[in-house]
Structures are given as C-alpha cells and as structure tokens.
Amino acid sequence: MKTRWRRLWQPSLARRMLLAQLGLLSLLWLALCGYAIYDTVRQNEDLGFDQRYELALAAARNLSGDPARQRDMLQHIDRINRGDGVQEANPSWQLLMEVWQDGRMVYASPELNQPIRGARLGVTQQVQTGQRKWLARTLASPDGRFVVTLAQPADLTGIYLSHSGFLLLPLLVCLPFMLLPAWISVRLALRPWRRVSAEIAERGPHDLAPLDYRPPHRELHPLVDNINRLLGRVRESARRERDFIADAAHEIRTPLAAMQVNIEAAIQRTPDTHLRALLDGSLLGVQRASHLVHQLLALMRSEAGGGARPQHSLPLHTLLQECCAMLAPLACQRGVELELQADGDAIISGDTEGMLSLFENLINNAIKYSPDGGLVRIAVQSDGGQAVITVSDEGPGVAPELYERLCERFFRVPGQRQGGSGLGLAIVAVTVARHEGRLRFGPANGGGLQVTTTLPLAA
C-alpha cells in the first residue's frame, strides 16, 4: 500500500503529459470563453438589432386601440427577446423592454421598476436605475407617438464572469471524460518506449549484443543509439578483459606444468620423508593452480565463443561416453560407479570442445561431491525437439536457496571440503546459454543433486 502511494507521488512522464494536455485544453477553453464574452459585450448586437424595435413599435401601433391585446402582444415579444424562458440563464439574453405610447408607458419588462428611456434616439447610452446600470437604446416610430427602449445590464462582463457555472460547466463536465482518451493517447504514445525498456529488462548480464528493436520514432533514436553505443563499449572492454585473462592463464600454464613435472621428479628422488611431505604440499598447490588456470581458459573460451551458435552434429550418447571414459580414473579412485542411460541416439548441434567441457564439469562435480562408493546416474532423453540430460548423484546436494548462485563465478557452497575453483558451473551455464539450452538444479532421488540440461535437438 505504502509503495503504491510512493509510486503515485513519484514524478511520472505520463502524468506530466496528461496534465499538459488537460491544462492546454482548459487554457484554450478559457481563451475561447474570454473571446466570446469580449465579442458579445463589444458588439452589443442585441441592442443594435433594429428589427426588434420595429416589431415592438408595429405591435404597439397596430393594437393601440385595444390596450389589453397590445399589452399581451408586447409581453409576448418581450419574452421572445429573452429567449422565451429557454435561454434565461444566459446573460446575453437579459434584454429588457419598455414601450411608450403618447408619452405614457404601456409596457415594461417585470425586472424594470423605473423608466430607462434614453434622451437621444438611436444611441446606446448608460442609464442608472437604483443600484443597477443599464445600456439602453431607444427608437421611436416615425410619427413619434410610439417609443421602444431595449436595455441590457451595463456590466455584462461581470455578469458573465459571475455566471462562472454557465461558462465553466461545460469544461468541468468535459474534463473527466477527456481524462480517459488523454490517458490512452499518452499510453499509446509511450508504447515504443516501453518496448525498448522491456527489451533491456529481458537482457541477461552476458548479452551485450545491440538492441534488436529499433523503433521507427525519431525521438527514441538517440536513446537506442546511445544504449547500443554503450553496449558496444562494454562489449569491447569485456573482450579486452577476457583476452587479458586468457593470455595470462595461457602464459602461466606452461611454467606451472614445468613446476609440476619438477616437483614430481623431486618427490621420486628424495629419500627425505620430511622434504617429501613438503613437496607433496607444493604439488597439491601447483595442481590446484593448474586446475584454476585450466578452468579460467575454458571459461574465457566459452564466453568468447558468444554470438552465433556453433553448428556441428554431435551424438549425445557418444559424447557422454567419451566424458565418462575421461573421468573413469577419478571415479575409480573414489569407488564411484558411473551409469549412463541413453534413450536412442539424440543428436544435438554444438561445438565439440564446449560440450565436452560442459558434461565433464557436470560429471566431475557429481563424482567429486559423491560419497565414496556412490552412484552417479547420467540419463539422456528426447522430449519434443529437446534433449534432456540429467546428471544425479548421491552426495549431500545443495540447499535450494543456493541454486541460483551456483553458476556465479568462484561461488562455492560454504563449508565445502572438496577442492575446486568454483568456475565449473559458470562454464556450464555460459555453454548452455550459447547453445540456447536451459539448466536446472533440483534434488536427486538418492538425496544428492540433480542437474538437468535441456538442449535443442539438431534439425
């Protein structure tokens, strides 16, 4: 709830555009109303419209012999002048009338309690009656017997403004209805922007390729271009870093190999048990360092292989047999049994070296973290265009909350007693991603860890 409120108060581009649209609309409306008031007041059209006077004069003259009918007719004309009750709320229809016959007032609008007849005929004048000021214009019949005065409140602008409801009501009624179309239009306008941001959000940390979506909208070009330029720079810097690590690992590998040979030779030749123990320790250290260098090189190679997916047809069964053969000495040493079950001969497309390294790492882990004399099961199944390879062991397994960290570089489960560099599963993850596959961890039936790799079968 709190975060929703916080989100509501956060600056938002959509809200900004929405407010700008509604603000502009209100401004336009007010300007239009202002102009309408100004125009009406300036033109004073109603007072200057001679036919109104002539109609009243003709009625007064023609019915002068029948005062009752004359009065009725004038009252009727007066009502028509004021919009016949329909437009009474509109200030511009507040037109009042007085009619005189032979110097005697024969009709006056009910609102007029004092005569407002102007002295000069045909001219609009200001007349005051009590508290109110009027603009009045008077015309007489040619013989001068009949006189008609029409009057309007002098302060029409003030009346218009005080009739704020009359002017602002349409705006107030429209605004809520405008809100939805304005909001939809803002959402639609921001859609390409959301598409760009969704593409960025979907990216994994190793996907540094330029954005696939290039919106046709001019405003978004600088953003997408700059992101692509930035990705290019990061790609370049990652490549340099990879090259540096690979070069360094490569350079270190040879002296390490030489050291290992020398230490092994020294161990064989020395009769001194104390010195031999020291040399054994050094040998272990050198072996660990060599393993680390080997894993680093493998990781850099699999990362550098990024981009296009390698295209070699690889029979999985043969590949896994090769890995098992390679790791058989290690398994023997631990008394671990390797069991390979393959359902038909699934063929995938990929690069041989990467795939060998992938399965070698998975089976190596299964052997390494199994108890002595344990069983490691490797199974291959084909499932709707996908090859599913599971490697399970009878070791201690891994707590599920750590699954997502297993593929981080140099991550090792705390308290791990077996040696290792923490790079094996990182290599596996990069290789699987490069082959458009998926990697999942779960508990194995025997209580250990089960790693499931799904790879697309070759077409």
Q: Binding to ligand ATP (CB under 6 A): which residues in 103-162?
A: none
Q: How many whole angstroms separate alpha carbon 82 and alpha carbon 91?
A: 10
Residue 306: C-alpha distances to residues 160, 193, 200, 286, 386 (Å)? 73, 28, 18, 31, 21
Helix 50-62 vs helix 67-81: crossing angle, to nearest 10: 160
Sole window of 303-311, 322-330, 331-339, 419-427 interacting with Mg ion (rule: CB under 5 A): 419-427
Helix (H, G, I), strand (E, B) or coil at 186: helix
Q: Quick check: 442 binds ligand ATP (CB under 6 A)? A: no
- Closest separation between CB of residue 295 and Mg ion, Å? 8
- Closest separation between CB of residue 278 and ligand ATP, Å? 25
Q: How many whole angstroms separate alpha carbon 265 and alpha carbon 282?
A: 13
Q: How many whole angstroms separate alpha carbon 67 and alpha carbon 107?
A: 10
Q: Quick check: 416 binds ligand ATP (CB under 6 A)? A: yes
Binding test (CB under 6 A) with ligand ATP, winner from 424, 432, 433, 455: 424
**Residues β-bridged to residue 338:** 376
- Closest separation between CB of residue 420 and Mg ion, Å? 5
Binding test (CB under 5 A) with Mg ion, winner from 395, 424, 437, 448: 424
- Residue 391: closest CA among 426, 342, 435, 430: 342
Q: Quick check: 439 binds ligand ATP (CB under 6 A)? A: no
- Residue 369: closest CA among 406, 323, 340: 406
**293 binds, options Mg ion, ligand ATP, none, Cβ within 5 to 8 A by partner type:** none
Q: Smaller CB distance to ligand ATP: residue 52 or 377? A: 377
Q: Quick check: 365 binds Mg ion (CB under 5 A)? A: yes
DSSP letter at 424 equals: H
Residue 66 and residue 154 in contact, taking contact as beta carbons nearer than 8 Å: no
Using CB atoms within 10 Å of the CB of residue 44, give its burial: 0 to 12 exposed, 13 to 18 middle, 19+ buried: middle
Q: Smaller CB distance to Mg ion: residue 235 or 412? A: 412
Q: Smaller CB distance to Mg ion: residue 312 or 440? A: 440
Give 153's contacts (C-beta < 8 A, 6+ positions apart): 91, 94, 132, 133, 134, 135, 159
Q: Smaller CB distance to ligand ATP: residue 108 or 293? A: 293
Residue 73 and residue 59 in contact, taking contact as beta carbons nearer than 8 Å: yes
Q: Smaller CB distance to ligand ATP: residue 324 or 366? A: 366
Q: Quick check: 395 binds Mg ion (CB under 5 A)? A: no
- Closest separation between CB of residue 4 and ligand ATP, Å? 39
Give just the sign of the alpha carbon dihedral 417, 422, 425, 427.
Answer: negative
Q: Quick check: 421 binds ligand ATP (CB under 6 A)? A: yes
- Closest separation between CB of residue 395 and ligand ATP, Å? 4
Per-position DSSP letters for 264-321, written without gaps between them:
HHHHHH---HHHHHHHHHHHHHHHHHHHHHHHHHHHHHHHHT-SSPP--EEEHHHHHH
Q: Binding to ligand ATP (CB under 6 A): which residues in 48-107?
A: none
Q: Quick check: 293 binds ligand ATP (CB under 6 A)? A: no
Q: Quick check: 369 binds ligand ATP (CB under 6 A)? A: yes
Q: Quick check: 395 binds ligand ATP (CB under 6 A)? A: yes
- Closest separation between CB of residue 427 and ligand ATP, Å? 8
Q: Smaller CB distance to ligand ATP: residue 206 or 269? A: 206
- Closest separation between CB of residue 365 and ligand ATP, Å? 3
Residue 380 and residue 393 in contact, taking contact as beta carbons nearer than 8 Å: no
Using CB atoms within 10 Å of the CB of residue 146, give its burial: 0 to 12 exposed, 13 to 18 middle, 19+ buried: buried
**393 binds, options ligand ATP, Mg ion, none, Cβ within 5 to 8 A by partner type:** ligand ATP
Q: Smaller CB distance to Mg ion: residue 233 or 405? A: 405
**423 binds, options Mg ion, ligand ATP, none, Cβ within 5 to 8 A by partner type:** ligand ATP
Q: Smaller CB distance to ligand ATP: residue 153 or 424? A: 424
| x/- map, 307-346, Mg ion, by CB under 5 A | ----------------------------------------
- Closest separation between CB of residue 337 and ligand ATP, Å? 15
Reading the block at residue 279, the tokens are: 């040399």
- Residue 389: closest CA among 342, 357, 353, 459: 342
Which stretches of the chain bind Mg ion, using CB under 5 A?
Answer: 365, 424
The binding site for ligand ATP (CB under 6 A) comprises: 291, 295, 361, 365-366, 369, 393, 395-398, 406, 411-413, 416, 420-426, 448-449
